[in-house]
Structure 1
Amino acid sequence: MAKRPDTIETTLLAIELLRRIPRRRKITARELHQQLSDAGIERDLRTIQRQLEMLCNHFDIECDLRSRPYGYRWLEDARGISLPQLTPQESLLLGMAQAHLTPILPARLMKSLSGLFNQARRTLDPHRGGNSKLEAEWPDKVRVVATSQPLLPPHIAEGVFEAASEALYLNRWLKIVYRNASGKETQTSVMPLGMAQQGPRLYLVCRFEGYHNERSLALNRIQHASVSTFTFVRPAEFNLKQYHDDGRFGFGEGQMVHLSFDIDRAAGFHLIESPLARDQTHREIDGNRLTFSATVVDSAMLSWFLAAFGGAVSNIERRPIPATSSAE
């Protein structure tokens, strides 16, 4: 008689499979195998298939045998598995995290966490009362507010965000049809290197096939996207933080300048509280004027920032700072 595989590893594998089997659609063994592999859980496909057969015999999970590959899902009225209950505080944190992380985390990762998010929502359901009442009220007591005129997010074509985040997550080439601001469409492949949210817009930082410089593409201008089967080695020299620090999202090229300007005290006083840079200095010219100086990245965004003050700002100077040589 074969020894029963009652090990910690087998139990953990069963739990991971139970967590990933959906209720509203069917999932194949190969898809589950890929999900586990992406999560760092390496098991061969046959092991996954044997585990699924065992789970179907012990849980309310159905296997659609009508065609290959077989599909698995929880039965409609199944209770699923019971995991430790989230505390109201944990539920509050998860709910706020979901709201802010959805635009920037891989779609597959957000889907894998859907069970936790659903449990958090149930815990904070105001109709359930109890100890979660105060936590349920908290999201209505806090708000992230815009620093400029609020804009609605542009429409992103169906499947584009999911494909872009998937390719970024898996280091795979992304096939796209891109329409620029003038309406010209380009069909090409890009190497996704990063994703950023700027106000209501999402941008994909990438390299076009055959090129070695980075570009930022607005996701809403991608008309269609699909994940290629070809992978790439992520360039060691690319750093998303440095790309941001160089002002590339502000339409700059990394040129540092020593900025100085005069401004009416009423218009510029907030810059004393929220400086432009760590080396910023200021002094009063007279009772109603201030002069500021700081080292910043020169960019179109900086120009727009200064232009917004209109006649309140004057004597603007930008002195380029030579880049530090690698020999120094």
Structure 2
Amino acid sequence: MTTSYKPTTTEQLSLAFELYNRIPKGRKVTAKQLQTELAIAGIERDIRTIQRNLDVVVQYLGVDKDARDKPYGYSRRIGEQIILDPRELTLLQLAKSALVQQLPSSLEHAIESAFSFILDQPRSYTGTQPPQGGQTKVKATTESITKPEYITALFEPIAVALTHQKQISFALQDGESLEQVSPVGLITAYNEFYLVYQNTFNEYDDLPIKDITHLKVLTFHFDYPSDFKLSEYQLKSKAVNCSFANSASTINIRQ
């Protein structure tokens, strides 16, 4: 006789918070939409499991359920503090970095004020240690990205790994694979997204994200290197050795 798998309490809580982090304010989202978002993040659950956990979220986490029409809609209460998931946080950081470059310096204070709420976002991973090295994890230039569709499946796991300081493993188009490396930055430059990482020899390297065919976020936490500055990092993936110290702005992520 076969027995069905019963998730642990930790797994159940983790799923509930994954759902909560994806429920917006001011508009509604359905269970099916949340299921799709979780699948993109690599979390596969059937619709009944999603619905059961949404009932828990509604009961305990200040989420409203609109049951007047099907499919039911879920939204956070307006009075609740805005909590961003790693994907949303990273997107806003990239947007802020690009604005700083495009607008005059006289508007820098206004930009800082407009994006001030992202500084207060919790960034601790599932554990006891606080986040580290938060000043230079994301950087953007103003060039448009060439064929950005490839980033869809990879952006969220990369954002999770950067935000929560989790090691990653990934496979490349040429068949090579890298195991247990530490992501330290995300750069947009030369019309591409680049992942900057520290390898197992404690060396820094990078590659275009479009070269990655599969990426997995591991459970291993890493200490962000105190001697690394993304603002001074020179991309190795390009034939032209270009320093970003002056050509791209750095997003501030306060601990």
TM-score (normalised: structure 1): 0.36
User: Which structure has the larger Rg over C-alpha atoms?
Assistant: 1
TM-score (normalised: structure 2): 0.44
Greater RCO, CA 8 A, separation 6+: 2
